[in-house]
Chain A
């Protein structure tokens, strides 16, 4: 049943392919088209950022990749097989702090997906959870319930929980948008540090141009509502210390132009 994707001409195999995807959802009054004919592909180990103004359907797109929505037209494939339902190979990290289970301690929260999916045994899950919690510097808070943690700490737990399961791709839906500016920067650095270590594939949705350039290795720019592909840009050369460089500023300005031009044209 599983169709395998052919390796493309360059020889690199796409991990995730989003092909010509149109997404629609119903509100009580309207049928809303969130994205229209969006296509892109992500390779293993990439930090792929989807950037767009609010309401461009980027979160909806991520939900569809997560398997929570089915495209009206088009297909989403992970490792060549069609995405039809949610699954632990695509771990999601949300913006809301409610994503942690308040009735479980930090350790239990990180352990739970590993046990619930039967991917790891009891002792292995425990060891992996402890190691990952130490890695995100929450070792002291292992047996604490989430309501006693700060926003940034909760986000670290969510990140640890997702990474401990070793998903094929990590889906992050504006994960740091609810954090204060300082914590946000700290978390961006943390995410990059984790990526340096584990080289996971991450799909990252944001509406901040700066965050997109810092976090992403490639950036997909979407137009305002309904979301359509506007550009795909390389941003792998930027690090935190280059934030004041002219090159950084130029790319930032260019993306701003892409978003802004689309905006004024729509108006």
Chain B
């Protein structure tokens, strides 16, 4: 049913043509920088700072409206106490005590997680053991183990470290194992192609390749550890004369110094923010973002 002269698939025939591309020089500015306002609005830090300022203002106004420093001290009073206790060294002392147990527990937890995942990636039995242990212990709140820790280690640092290790270990081990398992086959094969084996293979190929997951594990582990520590200190800072930040808050509560309670909470928040937004952000920018492994 094709008409002569018209090729199949073309309803009508148009002539071919060739031409030089049109001149593109009159397109004007190819790139224009944004106005200062737009640039500021694009800056995360500035937008968040604005949110903080608004929140602070709401707090200050509401506290003045309530006018009961025992229930809700003003932002101003809280900050005054906060800086006063920093100047007098009390708060710094407390924070230092807390951070010491935290670092000890965190590092011990990481070490254990490293050992467990290395065993888990090298043998199938090891991987079964780790999966089962993680499934069992990951849902157990670290604070629930505190009574047991007290029986085993008594009051003091060892018990704190024990519960912190528990809160870090499973989160980090689980994430690291997931990360190792998701390393692409091609990458594994090219690593083994160079004759890498054992520890060198894990250190030079698996760990960097799984780094996004490992970093996520480190962040979760840190958050768990920090929460656990403050909660645990609230329970038994009582004993040790040099208590941590949790004890600082607890002490202030028993003396009905609500502004000091708030100052303690502020310190908890600030340290959390600094670790999350400064330290981990820095590591992220230097590694996974630079490598294009994370947006």
In Å, the complex CA distance between A90 and B205 comes to 19
Question: In the complex, are the beta carbons of B193 and A88 less than 8 A apart?
Answer: yes
Q: Which of A30-38, A94-102, A213-221 contacts B (4 or more CB under 8 A)?
A: A94-102
B189–A68 CB distance below 8 A: yes
Q: Are A117 and B194 in contact (CB-based, < 8 A)? A: yes
Residue in A91, A94, A96, A103 whose beta carbon sits within 8 Å of that of B291 in the complex: A103
On chain B, which size bracket covers the interface? Answer: 20 to 34
Question: Are B287 and A103 in contact, CB atoms less than 8 angstroms apart?
Answer: yes
Q: Are B209 and A101 in contact (CB under 8 A)?
A: yes
Q: Which single residue of chain A is at the shortest CB-CB distance from B183?
A: A98
Q: Look across to chain A and name the residue whose beta carbon is closest to the beta carbon of B184.
A: A98
Q: Which of A86, A101, A112 is within 8 Å of B189, CB to CB? A: A86
Q: Name the one of A99, A145, A147 contacting B190, with C-beta atoms under 8 angstroms.
A: A99
Judge whether A102 and B293 touch: CB under 8 Å: yes
Contacts of B290 in A (CB 8 A): 145
A249 at the interface (CB under 8 A from B): no
**B196 in contact with A145 (CB, 8 Å):** no
Q: Which residues of A contact B291 (CB under 8 A)?
A: 102-103, 145, 147
> Which residues on B sit within 8 Å (CB–CB) of A90?
193
Query: Is B195 among interface residues, defined by CB-CB distance under 8 A?
Result: yes
Q: Does A193 contact B (CB under 8 A)?
A: no
A44 vs B45: C-alpha distance in the bound complex, in angstroms?
61
Tally of contact residues, A, Cβ under 8 A: 24
Bound-state Cα–Cα, A35 to B37, Å? 66
- Asked if B187 lies at the interface with its beta carbon under 8 angstroms from chain A, I say yes
> A87: CB under 8 A from chain B?
yes
B7 contacts the other chain (CB 8 A): no
Give B147 Cβ to nearest chain A Cβ, in Å.
44
A147–B194 alpha-carbon span in the complex (Å): 22
Is A148 part of the contact surface with B, judged by Cβ < 8 Å?
Answer: yes
Does A92 reach chain B (CB closer than 8 Å)? yes
Given contacts A68-B189, A94-B189, A98-B187, contact A148 B195 (CB under 8 A): no
Rounded to whole Å, the gap between the CB of B293 and the closest CB of chain A is 5
Contacts of B211 in A (CB 8 A): 103
CB pair A86 B193 closer than 8 Å: yes
- Residues on B with beta carbons closer than 8 Å to the beta carbon of A98: 184, 186-187
CB closest residue in chain B, given A149: B292
Q: Is B204 an interface residue (CB 8 A)?
A: yes
Assess A94 versus B190: contact at CB under 8 Å? Given A103-B211, A116-B204: yes
Q: Are A92 and B193 in contact (CB under 8 A)?
A: yes
- From A68, A87, A146, A147, contact of B195 by CB (8 A): A87
- Residues on B with beta carbons closer than 8 Å to the beta carbon of A91: 193
28 residue pairs from A and B, CB less than 8 Å apart = A68-B192, A86-B193, A88-B193, A88-B194, A92-B190, A94-B186, A94-B189, A96-B186, A98-B186, A99-B186, A99-B187, A99-B189, A101-B205, A101-B208, A102-B209, A102-B291, A103-B209, A103-B211, A103-B287, A112-B194, A113-B193, A113-B194, A116-B194, A116-B196, A117-B195, A145-B291, A147-B292, A148-B292
